[in-house]
Amino acid sequence: MKIKWSAVVVRVACLLLLASPVWAQDLGPHFTKIKDGIYVQTAKSTPQANSNASIIVTSEGVILVDTGQTAIDSREVAEAVKKLTSQPVRFIIDTETHPDHSYGHFLFSPPAVVINHLGAGEEMKQSFDPKRMSTLENQSPEMRAALQGFRLVPPQIEYGDKIVLRLGERTLELLNLGTTHSLANTAVWLPNERVLFAASVAVEDQINTIRPHTNIPDMLAMMKMMKSLNAEVVIPGHGVPTTNKMFDFYSGYLELLLQRVGKLMKEGKSLDQIKQELRMPEYENLAGAKGRIPNTAEAAYRAIKGGYTPENK
């Protein structure tokens, strides 16, 4: 059979144009296309993965989920938005309160309206450290330039348990994740696209810090809730886009940790002894593990003291 290659090339080109008006690689090497109109500026690995920022394009403007690790990343996100649409950024959803997710807001708000769970603004204001800003500015001339005009932008909208945001053709459900990482954390669920932005409760192939205000049982419950949504794509606060396997990985780690800490507690060991003696060889070589396994052991100790009984498997 004789193939008309020119016709094939034209047809393929047309299909590709229909599928994707802007290629993810046109947005720069740090962007990954998740679905039509949904892009993630994927975390760079430092040794631990930097934070993600995501762009959701709608027919009535753009929604960002977090705004990048540093102001340099945030400016890259602003450039990417301009390439994708002439519409403005209308909303920014914070998955947590920490600087590596929220200090790029000044580039977009106003007019963008920032949303996170109740208490987010208070935590952002209380933890704001001007010294951190001058240290950052002194990192490099590029960072100093990127930080021009910086100001803290806490959420203008804080919601209770859940809020639904509808913009253009998109529906976004914002789900309260309690204090499972910072003091206010939000998961973003797009039920039609089956994409979940899962914040920083769970990470994959690394170990995260657990702060004193966070309870492991709450973390396990939130991971279970997010897993039950059965998302096709799960975008963590840190690390590459994944699936439900991230929740299996991180709850697996925490459950094993609870069991081992529980056993040492039964033997009458003190917290200091437990931190010394606990071994988690399955996880010890992961990024962040050295310093963070003792920290997470402390959280497990707290949970068991508080009445949590680890499941024996």
Q: Which is nearer to Zn ion, 58 or 180 (CB)?
A: 180
Q: Which is nearer to Zn ion, 98 or 117 (CB)?
A: 98
Q: What is the number of the residue whose Cβ is closest to Zn ion?
A: 98
Give the largest Cα separation in the chain, rounded: 81
Binding mask 123-142 for Zn ion (x = CB under 5 A): --------------------
Q: Note whether 227 binds Zn ion by CB under 5 A.
A: no
Min CB(223)–Zn ion separation in Å: 16
Omega of the bond prior to 29 within 30 degrees of 0, cis?
Answer: no
Residue with tokens 């008006």: 21
Q: Which is nearer to Zn ion, 50 or 251 (CB)?
A: 50
Size of the site for Zn ion (CB under 5 A): 3
Rounded distance, CA 215 to CA 226, Å? Answer: 17
Q: Which is nearer to Zn ion, 37 or 236 (CB)?
A: 236
Q: Which is nearer to Zn ion, 250 or 310 (CB)?
A: 250
> By CB under 5 A, what part of segment 187-206 binds Zn ion?
200
Rounded distance, CA 92 to CA 54, Å? Answer: 10
DSSP code string of 11-63: HHHHHHHHH-SS-GGGG-TTEEEEETTEEEEPPPBSSSBPBPEEEEEETTEEE
**CB-CB contact of 42 with 32 (8 Å):** yes
Min CB(20)–Zn ion separation in Å: 32
Min CB(209)–Zn ion separation in Å: 8
Number of Cβ within 10 Å of residue 198's Cβ equals: 29
Residue with tokens 């540093």: 70
> By CB under 5 A, what part of segment 86-115 binds Zn ion?
96, 98
> Using CB under 5 A as the criterion, which residues of the chain lie in contact with Zn ion when the complex forms?
96, 98, 200
